[in-house]
Amino acid sequence: MPPIHHSPDLRGKMKHPRCFALVYLVLFVMSISGADLPPLKEADIPLFPNARRDLAAEAEYQAQTEADHDSLRHETVRIYSVSATPEEVARFYIQKLKATEEFPESGSESLRAGQALPPWYEIDFYTATDFANQSHKGNRIYDGQWVKSSLSGRKPWTNGQWLREARVMWEARTVENQRAEFLVSVEDVSLDIQKKKFHLETRIMIQIVRQDEE
C-alpha cells in the first residue's frame, strides 16, 4: 500500500513578494469558497459507482502498519474493489476532485483552519520491463508477453500506456485546525501473474491522516 506523500517545503524557492501574494490569494479563495474546497472529511470523498468495501484488505493493511502506531497520528483507511479498469477509476477521481498534475506552489505550513491545497495527482504506468520475459536456467519465470496480451484488451490511458497505479493527494487544515493529509490511491489488481489469470479488478484506497500538534 502506498504511504501518504508529504509535500516538500517550497517556500525557499519563492524569492519575490509577488509570488507570496499570489499563493496567499489562491489559499484565500479556496478557504472562502466551499465549491472550490476539496473534501475535508471521509464522507465527502466521492466513491466510484458499484465499488464494494474490502474488509479483508483493510484488516491486512492494519496488521502491516500496527507497529507504526503514533499517538499524535490518527489514520482512517477505507479499501474498496470494483470491476472497472483503473483508467476509468483514475479519471473519475481526477475529474471529481479537480486534481491537476501540477504540485501546489505552497506547502501545508501556510494553511489556516478550513483551508486546503488544491489536489494533485501522480500516475505510474506499466513499462517495457513489465512486458519482457524473464528466464532462469532455461526456464521462464516471468511471462511479460502474457502481461501485455492481458492488458491489450483494455483501453490504454494514452498511446500504448496502461495504468498500473494513480494517486490523488491533497493537504488541509480542518476546521479544528488539525493538519490533514488525504490520499485516494487507484491500483490495478487484475493480474495474477503466477497463475496467469486475468480478472478485471481495481482497488481503491482512501487514506486520511490527521496529525495533532505536539
Q: Is the pLDDT of residue 2 over 50?
A: no
| Cα–Cα nearest to 34, from 19, 20, 44 | 44
Place of cell 480542518: 174
Q: What is the pLDDT of residues 153-197, one digit of tens each?
A: 999 999 989 999 999 999 998 888 888 999 999 999 999 999 999
Least confident range from 9-18, 82-91, 160-169: namely 9-18
**Distances from the Cα of 179 to the Cαs of 67, 71, 176, 183, 205, in angstroms?**
22, 15, 9, 14, 20
For the segment 117-124, the average pLDDT, to the nearest whole number, is: 95
Q: What are the cell numbers at 175? A: 476546521
- Provide the pLDDT for residue 10: 31
> Residues 160, 164, 90, 50: what is their CA dihedral angle, to the nearest 10 degrees?
110
Q: How confident is the model at residue 102 (pLDDT cuts 50, 70, 90)?
A: confident
What's the pLDDT band for 214 if we cut at 50, 70, 90? Answer: low
Q: How many CA atoms lie within 13 A of 86 on its CB side?
A: 29
Proportion of the chain above pLDDT 70, given as a percent: 78
Q: For residue 148, with 0-12 CB atoms within 10 Å meaning exposed, 13-18 middle and 19 or more buried, which class applies?
A: middle
Percent helix, strand and coil across the chain, each rounded to 5?
30, 30, 40
pLDDT classification of 127: cutoffs 50, 70, 90: very high
pLDDT in tens, 16-41: 444 444 444 444 444 434 557 899 88
How far, in whole angstroms, is CA 181 from its chain's centroid?
Answer: 11
The pLDDT confidence band at residue 3, using thresholds 50, 70 and 90, is: very low
H-helix or E-strand spanning residue 192: strand 191-192
Q: Hey, what's the cell of 6?
A: 508529504
Distance separating alpha carbons of residues 209 and 67, to the nearest angstrom: 16
What is the C-alpha to C-alpha distance for residues 178 and 77, in angstroms, rounded to an integer?
18
pLDDT, residue 33, reads: 44
Residues 6+ apart with CB under 8 A from 159: none
The β-bridge partners of 183 are 169, 207
Question: Rounded mean pLDDT of the chain?
Answer: 83
Answer yes or no: is pLDDT of 46 > 50: yes
What is the model's pTM? 0.80
Structure confidence at residue 111 (pLDDT): 85
Residue type for position 208: I
